[in-house]
A and B are shown apart, each in its own frame.
Chain A
Amino acid sequence: MDGTPNAATPETLAGYNFAYLDEQTKRMIRRATLKAVAIPGYQVPFGSREMPLPYGWGTGGIQVTASIIGVEDTLKVIDQGADDTTNAVNIRRFFAKTAGVATTEKTAEASIIQTRHRIPEEPLRADQIIVYQVPQPEPLRFIEPREAETRKMHALSEYGIMHVGLYEEIAHFGRITQGYNYPVQVDDRYIMAPSPIPKFDNPKMDHMPALQLFGAGREKRIYAVPPHTKVKSLDFEDHPFTIESWEQTCALCGSEESYLDEVITDDRGSRLFVCSDSDYCRTRRDAGHEGSGLPVPAEPDTTASEPAGESS
């Protein structure tokens, strides 16, 4: 956080301030961020700026990162768990150009991790900050379109309506079907949208040693979960919160614990299951772990039950 005005080093882009944003904007975002940390889960409005990328591509996250990054930081950017997707590559390059900071694909080496859709599999440490890109920061929006009303509901802790959404899913499908952006309650107070991470990652947010910052550029909100803060996923007593599980293991590294992506490999429905976290998968492969490398054949009928022998 020591980006002084016009401190751009020779190798960064000429004519731009350190990390693109001007210092007054960074100061404003830092003020909003400090307030967000002081009130865990509360959405702090801020004057979101136009960024050189479209809304929905991470304008909120990039502004938060720009205002907290310093010359000594090492940045990692992930999109859908991977370091090599378009969004991740471009944001990483953006900060390499405008701030001249070191970038990495290794979770352990990063001091700031900007993410979309995943939390790394490797547990984060107290000296790291994770920045989430958030499309819709308001968890109550789906049922209450009025902003004045949702603010009042937050202020008065009127959160019964969140369970109405979960009730609907159980009534229609027999279980809670919400798979991503699964609502959480932070520090027994504010209900918060964890951004579109799979619910698989929700337990990682609970008492995480790293600071978690959330930036929503289009919606102009910043919120935060301070280190070691309770984050509880909403549920019913008789329908407790559960995370996804797979019968397959990663085809590349053989992991049984990580979040798996399903990749279609041909036009007959064969699928390959691989780790969504590319750094985690590579680290495991480097350590000698190996998966089958083979696609899983298509199931004959999607409605047919799994053969008894395969279930664990």
Chain B
Amino acid sequence: MIDRDMAPLLQVSDLSRHYGGQVGCEDVSFELYPGEVLGVVGESGSGKTTLLKCIAGLLPPSAGTVSFDTRVDGPRDIYAMSEPERRMLMRTDWGIVFQNPREGLRMNVSAGANVGERLMAVGARNYGEIRGNAVDWLTKVEMDLGRIDHLPETFSGGMQQRLQIARNLVTQPRLVFMDEPTSGLDVSVQARLLDLIRGLVRQLGIACVVVTHDLGVVRLLSHRLMVMRGGRVVEHGLTDQVLDDPQHPYTQLLVSSILPV
């Protein structure tokens, strides 16, 4: 699935973000290949979300570059692009699944319109086709089609997250960022959602950056794992390798603090 002969899809070099004197993240570098899922773990305040915002184009870094392999022009620094280009990229080739669905959904329009919005934003003007696409994607994320015209507000947390995923995948992005996609959901819903994400990512060959504090999520989803602490990456490697044979004392602590069932 991961094709390392191809150019990396996303290349992050020496990325730092400071908030005044505070360190958000410091000297982070990694590459992400097409179809690869990268997990980022660490405790609260370790800089995971800052890193995600920086690489997702939501927060300009203090130093370093984020380069994305665009379809037309090849690798380009996303912060050197013009704003229209970056916003276009963000709603076509990228997706962002937020921890809080209120950030990622339009709560005052129906589920179908939420899925169709990105299509209309890139110029779709045929109601029948937009509707067809919405039905198609709601089916793929296992939503009840009877709810297509209901407001997301009336949905459960798990349904809202699935709707967010459908809304992001409808333009067939090549890269999706996920910020704690399963936190706040009960374990059975979590399991179903993880299963769904894993299936879709494999099937569509989407590259993913998943930020979470839940080691179970990364074990299931990600190929590679980055462990962060105090804004720095302390350990980086294949997921199973890092979790089964942690080298850094902090990673050892993290792995040993998983509660056995």
* Residues of A near any B CB (own CB < 8 A): 143, 156, 158, 160-161, 163-165, 167-168, 170-172, 235-239
A239 to B126, CA, bound (A): 8
Q: With contacts A160-B117, A167-B130 known, what are 14 further pairs, Cβ within 8 A?
A: A143-B106, A160-B120, A163-B120, A164-B106, A164-B116, A167-B113, A167-B120, A168-B109, A168-B110, A168-B113, A171-B110, A171-B149, A238-B127, A239-B127
CA distance A236 to B127 in the complex (A): 6
**Count the A-B residue pairs with Cβ separation under 8 angstroms: how many?**
56
Q: Which of B112, B119, B121 contacts A171 (CB 8 A)?
A: B112
Verify if B108 is at the interface (C-beta below 8 Å from A). Answer: yes
Question: Which residues of B sit under 8 angstroms from A170, Cβ to Cβ?
Answer: 127
Closest 3 CB pairs of A and B: A160-B121, A160-B120, A236-B127
User: How far, in Å, is A189 (CB) from chain B's closest CB?
Assistant: 14
Q: If A168-B109, A168-B113, A171-B110 touch, does A160 touch B127 (CB 8 Å cutoff)?
A: no
26 contacts between A and B (CB under 8 A): A156-B87, A158-B87, A158-B121, A160-B117, A160-B118, A160-B119, A160-B122, A161-B117, A161-B120, A163-B120, A164-B113, A164-B117, A165-B109, A167-B112, A167-B130, A168-B110, A168-B113, A170-B127, A171-B112, A171-B113, A171-B131, A172-B149, A237-B126, A237-B127, A238-B126, A238-B127
When each residue 69-110 of chain B gets 1 if its CB lies under 8 Å from chain A and 0 otherwise, what string results?
000000000000001100100000000000000000010111
* Chain B interface residues toward A at CB < 8 A: 83-84, 87, 106, 108-110, 112-113, 116-123, 125-128, 130-131, 148-149
Output the residue of B106, B122, B127, B148 with the most chain A CB within 10 A: B127
Find chain A residues with CB under 8 A from B122 CB: 160
Chain B residues closer than 8 Å to A236, beta-carbon distance:
125-127
Q: Which residues of A contact B83 (CB under 8 A)?
A: 156
Considering only CB atoms, which chain A residue lies closest to B117 in the complex? A164
Cα–Cα distance between A167 and B132 once the two chains are bound (Å): 13
Give every chain B residue within 8 A of A163 (Cβ-Cβ).
120, 125
A159 nearest in chain B by CB position: B121
Bound-state CA distance A135–B119 (Å) is 31
Chain A hits for B131, CB < 8 A: 171
Q: What residues on B are CB-neighbors of A164 within 8 Å?
A: 106, 109, 113, 116-117, 120
Question: Given the complex, which residues of B lie within 8 Å of A167, measured CB to CB?
Answer: 112-113, 116, 120, 127, 130
Q: How far is the CA of A236 from the CA of B108 in the complex (A)?
A: 21
CB neighbours of A158 from chain B (8 A): 87, 121
Q: How far is the CA of A60 from the CA of B158 in the complex (A)?
A: 48
Across the two chains, which residue of chain B brings its CB closest to A234? B125
Docked Cα-Cα span, A105 to B87, in Å, equals 51
| A156→B126 contact, CB < 8 A | no
Is B149 a contact of A238 with CB atoms below 8 Å?
A: no
CB distance from A185 to the nearest CB of B (A): 12
CA distance A236 to B120 in the complex (A): 10
Return the chain A residue nearest B108 by Cβ: A143
Provide the bound-state CA to CA distance between A167 and B87, in Å.
23
Chain A residues with Cβ under 8 A from B127's Cβ? 167, 170, 236-239
CB distance from B212 to the nearest CB of A (A): 29
In the complex, A235→B127 CA distance in Å? 9
A239: chain B residues at CB < 8 Å are: 127
* CA–CA, A158 and B171, complex, Å: 16
B149: which A residues are within 8 A, CB to CB?
A: 171-172
Q: CA A240 – CA B236 in complex, angstroms? A: 55
Distance A171 CA – B134 CA, assembled complex (angstroms): 12
Q: Please name all residues of chain B whose beta carbon is closer than 8 Å to the beta carbon of A143 when the two chains form the complex.
A: 106, 108-109
- With most chain A CB atoms within 10 A of its CB, the pick from B113, B116, B121 is B113
Query: With the chains together, A238 CA to B130 CA distance in Å?
Result: 11
Contacts of B113 in A (CB 8 A): 164, 167-168, 171
**B residues less than 8 Å from A168 (CB atoms):** 109-110, 113
How far apart are the CA atoms of A312 and B131 in the complex, in Å? Answer: 33
Q: How many Å from the CB of B74 to the closest CB on chain A?
A: 24
A65 to chain B, nearest CB (A): 36
Query: Considering the chains assembled together, what is the distance between the CA atoms of A167 and B130 in angstroms?
Result: 9
**Complex Cα gap A238–B126 (Å):** 6
Residue among A171, A235, A238 with the highest chain B CB neighbour number at 10 A: A171
Give every chain A residue within 8 A of B121 (Cβ-Cβ).
Answer: 158, 160-161
Chain B residues whose CB sits within 8 angstroms of the CB of A235 once the complex forms: 125
Identify the closest chain B residue to A166 (Cβ). Answer: B127
